[in-house]
Amino acid sequence: MYITLDKAISLLNSHQVVALPTETVYGLAARSDDEMAIHQIFTTKNRPLTQPLILHVSSIEMAKKYFANWNPLYQILAEHFWPGPLTMLCEKSNLVSPLITAHSSKVAIRFPRHELFLKIIESLNQPLVAPSANPHQQTSPTKASHVEQLFAGSIPVLDGGPCAVGVESTILEILSAKNPIQLKIARPGNITPSMIQNLIQEKLKQSVTWSQINSVVASGQQAIHYRPPYPLLVTNSAESPSLKIFLKNKSPVFLILNEDAEVIEQELYDKIHSFPLLNQFDLLVLVIPQLNPNLEKWNAVIDRLSKASCFPFYF
Ligand code: TXA
Ligand code: MG
């Protein structure tokens, strides 16, 4: 069900959830001070309450109220990457409800780069919490029509066009903001570790230690996620001999995406959402010839596809 900007604002002000466009994916939004609507997000998505939500702000000033200890590291990251697809995961202030953070002491905050989303936060003068607007474990929407399809038209959605980035934000956990700075990528995205590290070296003249340890809460990043309604297999070569053996007696459909990482990020979810409408098949084989696990620019695509596919990658 498509709605206008004014309607979105009035629904949000009357304890309802609405789907809104961001530059990454469409989000299912509620006011961050409305516990009734936040509960509604979890039930609508069928999402466990143990999976925390990202708080979306429309200015650095607003973010400062919800993090506990604003410091020069947060400031340079925010000034450089916001508005944009970077979520910072840091100690929360007591203004953030435990319902949002699943009782963690840390909150994930981002300042999205989408005019309509920002207009709404400004007009409410209140941050919005918003997970991706898809049922739990399914593929995120990057167009308003995907939201319609995913929830059979039952969710009010504001159409802001296709999402420019197309994969969810990079989540950067700040483990220590003091020298030595310690960071962790809790979810890879369009903003890469070297972009972050170069900025810190340039502005703060400090080096960065990257943690690989999986913290319990950020394991909202479960192994099954982003699943399309059909089996998916990923390869960088349709000619791979082991793949050919595997596909014997199956009727696969091949989709070749011969593009670079950023373009694939932008198109990937749309391709996945449009596919079932067009074809009858056993298995979708996604062929990405340029995919290279040794280059960090592919991290987000590999992360999402390894959770979306039912099989190991065939290289
Ligand atoms: O690009 C995005 O980030 C999109 C748009 C709508 O902003 N949002 C999004 O939200 O992807 P969601 O809920 O689908 O994914 C957020 C991830 C989840 O895996 C969640 O577990 C993790 O962020 N997360 C959120 N708050 C956290 C916290 N306090 N601690 C650890 N992980 C957190
Ligand atoms: Mg999601």
Q: What are the pLDDT digits (tens) for 110-150?
A: 999 999 999 999 999 999 999 999 999 999 999 999 999 99
221 CA from centroid of ligand 1 (Å): 9
Q: Does 221 map to a domain? A: no
Atom of ligand 1 minimally distant from the CA of 140: 14
Q: What percent of the chain has pLDDT over 70?
A: 96
Average pLDDT of span 50-72: 98
Given 145, 179, 210, the domain boundary residue is: 210
Report the pLDDT value the prediction gives residue 225, as an integer from 0 to 100: 83
Say if residue 280's pLDDT is above 80. Answer: no
| Among 23, 32, 51, 269, residue to substitute to test ligand 1 (most atoms within 8 Å of Cβ) | 51
Q: Which residue(s) pair with 138 in the sheet?
A: 227
CA-CA-CA-CA torsion for 107, 172, 234, 19, nearest 10 degrees? 40
Q: Does 110 map to a domain? A: yes
**What's the pTM value of the predicted model, to 2 decimals?**
0.95
Q: Does 129 map to a domain? A: yes
pLDDT band at 300 (very low <50, low <70, confident <90, very high): very high
Tokens representing 80 are 């450089």
Say if residue 173's pLDDT is above 50. Answer: yes
Report the pLDDT value the prediction gives residue 301, as an integer from 0 to 100: 97
| CA 155 and chain centroid, separation | 19
Residue 291 and residue 145 share a domain: no
279 CA from centroid of ligand 1 (Å): 32
273 CA from centroid of ligand 1 (Å): 21
Pairing of strands 27-31, 18-20: antiparallel
Q: Is 174 in the pocket of ligand 1 (CB under 6 A)?
A: no
Q: Considering just the CA atoms, what is the radius of gyration of the chain in Å?
A: 20
Given 210, 243, 270, the domain boundary residue is: 210
Residue 251 and residue 104 share a domain: no
Domain, as residue range, for 296: 232-308
Among the listed residues 300, 296, 275, 278, the one whose alpha carbon sits nearest the alpha carbon of residue 286: 275
Q: Is 131 in the pocket of ligand 1 (CB under 6 A)?
A: yes
CA distance 313 to 315: 6
Residue 201 has phi, psi (to 5 degrees) of -65, -40
Q: Does 224 map to a domain? A: no
Q: Does 108 map to a domain? A: yes
186 CA from centroid of ligand 1 (Å): 10
Residue 251 and residue 154 share a domain: no
Q: Is 170 in the pocket of ligand 1 (CB under 6 A)?
A: no
Residue 300 and residue 204 share a domain: no
| Among 117, 168, 175, 226, residue to substitute to test ligand 1 (most atoms within 8 Å of Cβ) | 168
281 CA from centroid of ligand 2 (Å): 26
Residue 196 and residue 236 share a domain: no
Encode pLDDT of 7-47 as tens digits.
999 999 999 999 999 999 999 999 999 999 999 999 999 99
Q: Does 216 map to a domain? A: no
* C-beta of residue 131 within 8 angstroms of C-beta of residue 140: no
**Which DSSP string corresponds to 96-144?**
S-HHHHTT-SEEEEE----HHHHHHHHHHTS-EE--BSSSTTBPPPSSH
CA-CA-CA-CA torsion for 107, 189, 315, 239, nearest 10 degrees? 140
Angle (CA) 210-167-79 rounded to 5° is: 60
Residue 255 and residue 184 share a domain: no
Which ligand number lies closest to the CA of residue 41? 1
Residue 194 and residue 65 share a domain: yes
Residue 168 and residue 131 share a domain: yes
* C-beta of residue 41 within 8 angstroms of C-beta of residue 131: yes
Report the pLDDT value the prediction gives residue 217, as an integer from 0 to 100: 44
* C-beta of residue 44 within 8 angstroms of C-beta of residue 28: yes
Which ligand number lies closest to the CA of residue 53? 1
Residue 89 and residue 28 share a domain: yes
* C-beta of residue 172 within 8 angstroms of C-beta of residue 82: no
Residue 45 and residue 86 share a domain: yes
Encode pLDDT of 67-109 as tens digits.
999 999 999 999 999 999 999 999 999 999 999 999 999 999 9
* C-beta of residue 181 within 8 angstroms of C-beta of residue 147: no
106 CA from centroid of ligand 1 (Å): 12
Q: Is 134 in the pocket of ligand 1 (CB under 6 A)?
A: no
Q: Does 23 map to a domain? A: yes
Given 180, 210, 240, the domain boundary residue is: 210
Report the pLDDT value the prediction gives residue 221, as an integer from 0 to 100: 59
Which ligand number lies closest to the CA of residue 187? 1
Encode pLDDT of 205-253 as tens digits.
999 999 987 654 443 456 778 888 889 999 999 999 999 999 999 989 9
Angle (CA) 270-272-277 rounded to 5° is: 95
Say if residue 55's pLDDT is above 70. Answer: yes
Residue 243 and residue 121 share a domain: no
240 CA from centroid of ligand 2 (Å): 32
CATH code of the domain containing 64 = 3.90.870.10
CA distance 169 to 89: 12
Report the pLDDT value the prediction gives residue 220, as an integer from 0 to 100: 42
Q: Does 37 map to a domain? A: yes
* C-beta of residue 68 within 8 angstroms of C-beta of residue 54: no
Q: Is 167 in the pocket of ligand 1 (CB under 6 A)?
A: no
Residue 113 and residue 241 share a domain: no
Domain count, the chain: 2
Among the listed residues 313, 300, 177, the one whose alpha carbon sits nearest the alpha carbon of residue 236: 313
CA distance 124 to 3: 17
Please report the beta strands in the chain, taking only residues with DSSP state E, as ranges in sequence order: 18-20, 27-31, 54-56, 86-91, 106-110, 128-129, 170-176, 181-187, 208-210, 232-235, 252-256, 283-287
